[in-house]
Chains A and B, each alone.
Chain A
Amino acid sequence: MTAVLADPRPADLRPGVRRLGLGKPLPLAGGLGVLVLLAVWSAGSAAGWIDPRVLTAPWTVVTTGADLIANGSLPEHLGVSLTRAALGLVTGVAAGLVLALISGLSRVGDALLDGPIQVKRAIPNLALIPLLILWFGIGEEMKVVTIALGVFVPIYLHTHNGLRSIDSRYVELAETLRLTRGQFVARVVLPGALPGFLLGLRFAVTGSLLALVVVEQVNGTAGIGYMMELARAYGQTEVIILGLVVYGALGWGADALVRLLQRRALTWRRTLEG
């Protein structure tokens, strides 16, 4: 049976041009690769291709997680880790922000601060750990300071860059509008540097977790890293994998949080995302 009713619109004839752009995004784009990986992992474990001593099956990780939550040890370790990361993050962000403002807003500050900070940036943070252990011991203080030192650099760099890249036309405008220095900082400088600061914050959050992993394996007595070290000693692959999953979830969650903050705070920006 053929359609009798003619379509009122003419046929869609258009010049054939080879598409070189990417086209429409796939559904589930971000998560697709992760789902495929999980499927391969599950299938491999179920079929017995993967030795559980090398890589535990996904469901074992889940049940281990449930057990450790039930006996209270996972929440305890997680609490310790989160407190460390948060303390380091807050200290580092505050330090980076203050230093960026001082060196971004005054020539003297720039001359005095920027050089040493660039030197600090050239030294890998983790290479400072032996010195920090000598200075602060092996307790919490050293751990928080290490995290803060890793955090302040990206905050400083991106905020400073944000401050310096504020269009000089807006500075001129502020002059013709006779703004006071305080008004200029509050209405022009800080909002103008906010995108840079938030980008720095994204790096800082991931950086704080990175530093966390390292310091927790230095003579820890609690924390996710300590939990994993202990599991290594007893050959508990499933606990190690669980620790990795928790670190991954923390990193992803924190980054998602900052991205949400970015979207909220930067509604004035018209970007590619619309």
Chain B
Amino acid sequence: MATHTGRLIADDVTRQDGTAPHGVVPGAVPDDAGSPAPGAHPAAHPAVPGDGTPPAVVVRDLYRTYGMPKGVLDGLGLEIADGEFVAILGRSGSGKSTLLRALAGLDHDVTGSGEIRVPANVSVVFQDSRLLPWARVLDNVVLGHEAAPAEARAAGKAALAEVGLAGRERAWPHELSGGEQQRASLARSLARSPELLLADEPFGALDALTRARMHDLLRDLLRRHRPTVLMVTHDVDEAIVLADRVVVLDAGRIALERRTGTTPHATLRAELLGALGLAPTDRRKDRA
């Protein structure tokens, strides 16, 4: 399922042959036909919206109401370029999780309208590792993998090795630490080479030290696999450090949008905290 659109858009851009680039607008000429191999990404930096490459994710006029008069998402629009990492910040109730669930196609019973286009191959990383407790680690990683069993297991083993869990294939999930469980869930996503990775506060349940280590691991993995990423987080610093672009949601709309890497960390942080309605503290002055 490449597209789940609201009632505004009827066209379906399901990938028929499995090779067309994702996010193709019907009628547009694909200019980078054939998915690039992982690691062979043409650009060192993700494409910037508006530079001619079709965006990987398109969200237009998205409304989600949960039956309330004032919607949780209120006409939201967002484009994410191929290979771009966007972090979504926002207070509780700002609609950030609703947006992620809408992109993941998990909001079956929620009323709403608008257009959503995502690549065919989407993977979700949840806040909890969500490993099936009755399946061994490798079986969890290859659960639902589309390839033939032997191939899937090879991909799963490789992904586990990449996240540093080689040799733990036969372990039960409860035998892993919290950080290891989250790494296994990352491996489950990686093993499917997703075009779009949706992450819902993926490190929110981890202690600070483990979280810092996971940041390094994630950056390393993304450098090699180059999926498009949308990550919901509460942590302003995490957003700045990991993402190419930080988007602050408020009342179901985009309140602020900033690229990282050009503005000094402290300035950006103060600006984002301001948009979140918090006075910046100098708790982490030393990181500026």
Contacts and interface: CB of A to CB of B under 8 A. Distances in A.
Interface of A: 169-170, 172-179, 183, 187-188, 191-192, 194, 267-270
A191 B139 CA distance: 13
Interface of B: 1, 104-106, 122-124, 126, 128, 130, 132-135, 143-144, 146, 172-174
Contacts of B134: 191-192, 194, 268-269
Contacts of A169: 126, 128, 130
A172 B174 contact: no
The A interface is mostly helix, strand or loop, or mixed, namely: helix
23 contacts: A169-B126, A169-B128, A169-B130, A170-B130, A172-B106, A172-B126, A172-B130, A173-B132, A174-B144, A175-B105, A176-B123, A177-B143, A177-B144, A178-B144, A183-B144, A191-B132, A191-B134, A191-B135, A192-B132, A268-B134, A268-B135, A268-B174, A269-B134
B102 to A, nearest CB: 13
Specify the main secondary structure of chain B where it touches its partner: loop
Contact of B104 (A170, A176, A191, A194): A176
A172 B107 CA distance: 10
Contact of B143 (A175, A179, A192): A179
Given A179-B144, A192-B132, 4 more contacts: A174-B144, A176-B104, A176-B105, A179-B143
Contacts of A178: 1, 144, 146
A187 B143 contact: yes
Nearest to A170: B132
Contacts of B144: 174, 177-179, 183, 187
A186 to B, nearest CB: 11
A174 B205 CA distance: 21
B135 A187 contact: yes
A55 B231 CA distance: 75
Contacts of B122: 176
Contacts of A267: 172
A188 B172 CA distance: 15
6 closest cross-chain pairs (CB), A and B: A177-B144, A191-B134, A176-B124, A179-B144, A268-B134, A270-B174
